[in-house]
A and B are shown apart, each in its own frame.
With several copies, the nearest count.
Chain A
């Protein structure tokens, strides 16, 4: 099972997890990213490159499935305007081996952070806006999975 979705709407974490549990694998790992409030943030606007996003996320998922003995995975990434508390991203993996489920989940979220063509713009209560800067740490982390410097 490989489920990849890039969508504006919210998703049902329970349904995603239930589908992964039903694969009978023994272990299901997940990560959910949520818009963090504070500092006067009223919304995050996620822009993406539609022609590229789905293909890119698909490729990353295939890589995870080649690398770990997974029974299934589910990756969902939202775009558009999201308010604090809203879910942005979900990664779920199922495997007979808990380490495979947990590691592949970490791998996928690291890659989404550094390799998926999404950009975040912050909107503040005072009308100010600003594009979120990429963190060097994220690029380093994704490269780490390849054993590169």
Chain B
């Protein structure tokens, strides 16, 4: 299984902080997984439909959406950060 954590409006639209999903097939990228989740429709489509508005982290490191998930244990999906 792979843990996905959501933040900010991604979290709000999906209605979950965190969930477990089946580990994607070998070679799958973050973008592939995001497209699969968005296809669930509803809040997922609202949150993840436009991948250009998303940023991601694998095991707490920022990565591009074209990154292969590999054996990462935690994927985070969120909008661009606005700290400071």
Do A and B touch directly, given a CB cutoff of 8 Å in the complex? yes
Measured CB to CB, the residues of A under 8 A from B are 33, 46-49, 51-52, 55-56, 77, 88-89, 98, 109-110, 112-121, 131-134, 138-139
Contact of B82 among A55, A77, A119 (CB under 8 A): A119
Rounded to whole angstroms, the CA-CA distance of A110 and B7 in the bound complex is 21
Query: What are the 6 A-B residue pairs with the smallest beta carbon separation, nearest first?
Result: A118-B83, A134-B80, A113-B84, A119-B8, A52-B60, A112-B84
Neighbouring B residues of A132 by C-beta, 8 Å: 82
Measured CB to CB, the residues of B under 8 A from A are 5, 7-9, 11, 57, 60, 62, 74, 76, 78-84
Contact A120 B78 (CB under 8 A): no
Interface SS of A by simple majority? mixed
Neighbouring A residues of B78 by C-beta, 8 Å: 49, 117, 119
Rounded to whole angstroms, the CA-CA distance of A139 and B84 in the bound complex is 12
Contact B82 A117 (CB under 8 A): no
Contacts A52-B57, A115-B62, A120-B83 supplied; 9 other A-B pairs, CB < 8 Å = A46-B83, A49-B78, A77-B83, A113-B83, A118-B82, A119-B7, A119-B82, A134-B81, A139-B80
Contact B84 A33 (CB under 8 A): yes
Contact of B83 among A48, A51, A55, A133 (CB under 8 A): A48
Contact of A117 among B9, B11, B57, B74 (CB under 8 A): B57
Contact A116 B83 (CB under 8 A): yes
In this complex, the member of B5, B82, B84 whose beta carbon has the largest number of chain A beta carbons within 10 angstroms is B84
Rounded to whole angstroms, the CA-CA distance of A89 and B5 in the bound complex is 25
Contact A133 B5 (CB under 8 A): no
Min Cβ gap A31→B in Å is 9
Neighbouring A residues of B84 by C-beta, 8 Å: 33, 77, 88-89, 98, 109-110, 112-114, 116, 118, 138
Contact A116 B81 (CB under 8 A): yes
Rounded to whole angstroms, the CA-CA distance of A121 and B81 in the bound complex is 11
Neighbouring A residues of B80 by C-beta, 8 Å: 133-134, 139
